[in-house]
Chains A and B, each alone.
Chain A
Amino acid sequence: MSDGDVLVANHVLDYPYARSVGPVLGAFFTALSEGRIVGVEGSDGAVIVPPTEYDPLTGEDVGELRDVGPGGVVTAWSWQVAPGRKHHLDHPFAWALVRLDGATTAMLHVVDAGDPGAMATGMRVTARFRPPAERRGHVLDLEAFVPEPDGGGR
């Protein structure tokens, strides 16, 4: 049988998952829907963002929720030259690990910087939230980070 005789068919999988978030991530998503960002105190006093139910490095219990940001520092970044079909921005953007003010760990998100020349490790960025009516308690309520004016981009 030649390859031409082998059947092919388009096949779609849809998983309509709705996940319980629990008290810790629930507080994080609730805060995002209000235009705020919260982390949680780790076992050694570090502030982990996004908050986790346990200290990811020691496995110990975590402490109180703490407000962080909205500004922060880029600790690593890469440049998405062409957005993929699942990405929420329709133009080139940066992936970044952002350590928010008041946080010890960095969170993965995107920086809507316009141009890779605007990006640099160590630069300051600040959160850009969607308008309140569009928020739904989701990580993309924080639409993107954007460079702070004179924030150290190159």
Chain B
Amino acid sequence: MSAPARRPVAVVSFAQARNVRREASRNEVELLMPVVSEVFAAIGASKDDMGFICSGSTDYLVGGPFSFVTALDAVGVWPPRAESHVEMDGAFALYEAWVLMQEGAIDAALVYSFGRSSPGDVTEILALQLDPYVTAPLWPSPVALAALQAQALIDAGEATEEELAEVAARNRSAARANPNAQVVSDASPEELLADEYVVAPLRRHALPPITDGAAAIVLAAGEKAREWRERPAWITGIDHRIETHALGCRDLTRSPSTALAAERAGLFEGPPVDLAEVHAPFAHQELIVRRALELGDAVTVNPSGGALAANPVMSAGLIRIGEAAARIWAAESERAVAHATSGPCLQQNLVCVLDASDGAVVGGGA
């Protein structure tokens, strides 16, 4: 099943802040401004080229109201600009920009996201995304819920604690090549298994770091994309799906929303991907997403180190798309898939298929 042909739109520029545990001095605007400058400078573009601006962030992180509005000062929105915002990871803002670009009225869009997890207690803040009547009053942290999922996977015989340590070791070792990574390590899986449990069965290494960060991407259509990037990363399909918030109604060992989004994005049509950037904040979630995306052993997964190396809330998904695209620009990949997640235990998932050729533009959620 494939949707009608789509307008070719590509990822042509990507920048991110260096991911850190605590950005102590700069506020959101000051954190974002150099990232936006860099994403334009890399392709010789300016804000005046952008027909649309879309961002992803949440005010709960810093506890200041309407920080997404003040963040626009980092771009400069005079004369007034067409703009939108999602209270979600920037990957979902990218989806909105892509949809708008399908209309054909604009040729370029800026997508950015930002978030500092350090000012508050991010594990408490993320509990507020849960059902407020029967779930949030228990204050389960994302770690507690992810640990339930990990135990379910272990009980189903589909993962072992050793495998979780292997995932963590591989990602953090790969992160050595990522200058923006926050946590890098050459520790072996055996060494990692000596870590204490945070919420069993998840040990320290299976958790993402707490990160302050920001990221930006420029999308461009058709000839504009070729003008800015010799080898654009064409979005041949993109889709996102959500599952019920009622955790007890889900099979936590599977990610049907990822699988459906992947199908709708055309991942299972055409040649197989050679590279994947998956947004799996907890080690066991990489195993679940790999299965849903049907990634074989030949696929390079998370050469950036993924969310285990840096997990800037609201940006880690957008960064997956940027990292995958950058490898297509560099001819290190012909066809790649990027994945972003939101909500507890992989509740909501976005799949973006990127290709060095725009001839493969077939899919896309409808």
Residues in A lying within 8 Å of B, measured CB to CB = 1, 3, 6, 8, 11, 13, 17, 19, 21, 25, 28, 48-50, 52, 56-57, 75-81, 84, 86-88, 95-97, 99, 105-110, 116, 121, 138-140
Contact = CB atoms under 8 A, between A and B. Distances in A.
B248 A105 contact: yes
Interface stretch (B43-51, B196-204, B315-323): B196-204
Contact of A78 (B137, B138, B151): B151
A21 B133 contact: yes
Contacts of B247: 97, 106, 108
Nearest to B345: A76
Interface in B110-160: 119, 123-124, 127, 132-135, 137-141, 144-145, 147-152, 155
B148 A95 contact: yes
A105 B246 contact: yes
Given A138-B137, A139-B134, A139-B138, A6 B244 contact: no
Nearest to A42: B249
Contacts of B210: none
Given A84-B139, A108-B140, A79 B197 contact: yes
Contacts of A105: 246, 248-249
A6 B31 CA distance: 14
Interface string B233-263: 0000000000011111100100000000000
Name A's interface SS: mixed
Contact of B244 (A11, A25, A56): A56
A1 B245 CA distance: 45
A50 B247 CA distance: 11
A76 B151 contact: yes
Contact of B139 (A17, A86, A121): A86
A139 B151 CA distance: 24
Contacts of A56: 244-246, 249
B151 A77 contact: yes
B248 A13 contact: no
Interface of B: 24-25, 63, 119, 123-124, 127, 132-135, 137-141, 144-145, 147-152, 155, 196-202, 244-249, 252
Contact of B151 (A19, A81, A121): A121
A79 B199 contact: yes
A117 B90 CA distance: 41
B155 A76 contact: yes
Contacts of B200: 78-79, 81, 116
Contacts, number: 109
Task: Please indicate which of the listed interface residues A57, A78, A97, A139 has the most CB atoms of chain B within 10 Å of its own CB.
Answer: A78
A57 B139 contact: no
A94 to B, nearest CB: 9
Contacts of B144: 78, 80, 95
7 contacts: A78-B144, A78-B145, A79-B197, A86-B124, A86-B139, A95-B147, A121-B152
B87 to A, nearest CB: 16
Sorted nearest first, the 5 A-B pairs with minimum C-beta distance are A78-B147, A106-B248, A79-B200, A86-B139, A56-B244
Contacts of B147: 78-79, 95
Contact of A25 (B134, B138, B199, B202): B134
A88 B140 CA distance: 11
B348 to A, nearest CB: 15
A132 B272 CA distance: 61
Contact of A139 (B119, B124, B137): B137
B123 A97 contact: no
Task: Please indicate which of the listed interface residues A52, A76, A87 has the most CB atoms of chain B within 10 Å of its own CB.
Answer: A76
A140 B137 contact: yes
Contacts of A116: 200
A65 to B, nearest CB: 15
Nearest to A100: B248
Contacts of A57: 244, 249
A65 B339 CA distance: 40
A75 B144 CA distance: 15
Given A76-B149, A81-B200, A95-B145, 15 more contacts: A6-B25, A25-B134, A28-B134, A77-B151, A78-B200, A84-B139, A88-B138, A95-B144, A95-B147, A95-B199, A99-B248, A105-B246, A107-B248, A121-B155, A139-B137
A23 to B, nearest CB: 13
Contacts of B140: 95, 108
Task: Please indicate which of the listed interface residues B63, B134, B138 has the most CB atoms of chain A within 10 Å of its own CB.
Answer: B134
A33 to B, nearest CB: 14
A97 B248 contact: yes
A105 B252 CA distance: 13
A80 B199 contact: yes
